[in-house]
A and B are shown apart, each in its own frame.
Chain A
Amino acid sequence: EVQLLESGGGLVQPGGSLRLSCAASGFTFSNVDMSWVRQAPGKGLEWLSTISGRDGSAAYADSVRGRFTISRDNSKNTLFLQMSSLRAEDTAVYYCAKTVASDAWGQGTLVTVSS
């Protein structure tokens, strides 16, 4: 069974940083592209970033490029999202998702950016 478990969310001040993790199991993690998607309160889904399982290359949404960095540790089956220069509008539930087609999702972790 595919399982994705995010962690690392919390309350952070504007301008601060946070690192999210997503522990994966139930599939061959190293072979699979992985994504981060967020959902602001009461809003729809917003894709943020995808990292290739093949070569580690990454793509980013304009809204986070230069502030967020996606990475992975295939030896630990873990996906990361390093977030910096956080803004109030980054407040959201952050999900990791398996493949570009998002065929499995974690339960999400809430990030609140507020002073």
Chain B
Amino acid sequence: DIQMTQSPSSLSASVGDRVTITCRASQGISKSLAWFQQKPGKAPKSLINAASTLQSGVPSKFSGSGSGTDFTLTISSLQPEDFATYYCQQYKSYPLTFGGGTKVEIK
């Protein structure tokens, strides 16, 4: 199974900050990686797939990069609505696996 390790597990940031979340795969997954945002009590929302392709309607302050084993999600200027938990997921092979999540909190 491919293990997905996210870091950090949580972070505190201020409005306007640039935030970077990392996801590392235990083996190469090419660009078969997706990122999601989840707010409390809500379903996850897809932000990015194929490592760097922004989903329709997702603001350009979100960006993704990486290939192989190392990936990043960057929020260029954190806004109040961005405080949430973020997950990565590999879909290169079964079982599909998620990272443990990164909770972004207000400093």
Residues of chain A having any CB pair with chain B under 8 Å: 35, 44-47, 50, 59, 61-62, 95, 100-108
Is B49 in the interface zone, CB < 8 Å from A? yes
A108 touches B34 (CB 8 A): no
The answer to whether B44 and A102 touch across the interface, beta carbons within 8 angstroms, is yes
Contacts of A62 in B (CB 8 A): 95
Asked if B49 and A108 sit within 8 Å, CB to CB, the answer is: no
Whole-angstrom CA separation of A95 from B55 in the bound complex = 19
Contact A47–B98 (Cβ < 8 Å)? yes
> Is B63 located at the chain interface by the 8 A CB criterion?
no
Other-chain contact of B34, A44, A61, A101, A106 (Cβ < 8 Å)? A101
What is the interface residue range for chain B against chain A? 20 to 34
Instruction: Report yes or no: B43 in contact with A95, Cβ–Cβ below 8 A.
Output: yes
> Residues of B contacting A101 with CB < 8 Å?
32, 34, 46, 49-50, 89, 91
Q: Across the interface, name the chain A residue whose C-beta is closest to B99.
A: A44
A91 to B45, CA, bound (A): 22
**Taking the complex as formed, is B36 at the interface, i.e. its CB lies under 8 A from any CB of chain A?**
yes
B68 located at the interface, meaning its Cβ lies under 8 Å from any Cβ of chain A in the complex: no
Q: Mark B29-46, 1 if CB is under 8 A from A, else 0.
A: 000101010000001111
Contact among B49, B87, B96 with A35 in the assembled complex (CB-CB below 8 Å): B96
A35 to B101, CA, bound (A): 20
A45 CB to nearest chain B CB (Å): 4
Complex Cα–Cα for A105 and B34 (A)? 13
Contact B87 A45 (CB under 8 A): yes
**Closest B residue, CB atoms, query A45:** B98
Inside 8 A of B100's CB, which chain A residues have their CB? 44
- Report the nearest A residue to B85, measured CB to CB: A44
Query: Does the CB pair B95–A102 fall under 8 Å?
Result: no
Q: Return A52 CB to nearest CB of chain B, in Å.
A: 11
Q: What residues on A are CB-neighbors of B87 within 8 Å? A: 44-45
